[in-house]
Amino acid sequence: MKHKRIILIILTFATVIWGQMNPVTVSASARSAARAGEVVHVEMTAEMEHEWHIYALHDAGEGPIATVITINGDYVSRQGKIDEPEPIEKYDEGF
């Protein structure tokens, strides 16, 4: 009986810890197929748990470091500016 309780406690904590492993999910999709030499618009979406937040792409001066989107590859590069939705401003006690 004692072993069952210990196993139950361990599984309970493991579930809580496992749930925190990926609080933010990022996905990307292209509006059209890519052909050599053409520009393709890619939409990225970041979804996160309620209590999690990411910072804006543009540095607002003193405070947190802005979010960075990096594009890697021999045949791809960023062209133009990155648009982002209107930010939800929230005070961060860390700054």
Residue 20 domain boundaries = 2-32+39-45
Does a structural domain hold residue 11? yes
Residue 64, pLDDT score: 79
Does a structural domain hold residue 81? no
Does a structural domain hold residue 7? yes
Helices (H), 1-95: 2-19
Residue-averaged pLDDT of the chain: 78
Number of domains in the chain: 1
Share of the chain above pLDDT 90, in %: 0
Does a structural domain hold residue 22? yes
Does a structural domain hold residue 94? no
Report CA-CA distances (Å) from 41 to 34, 58, 76: 9, 20, 12
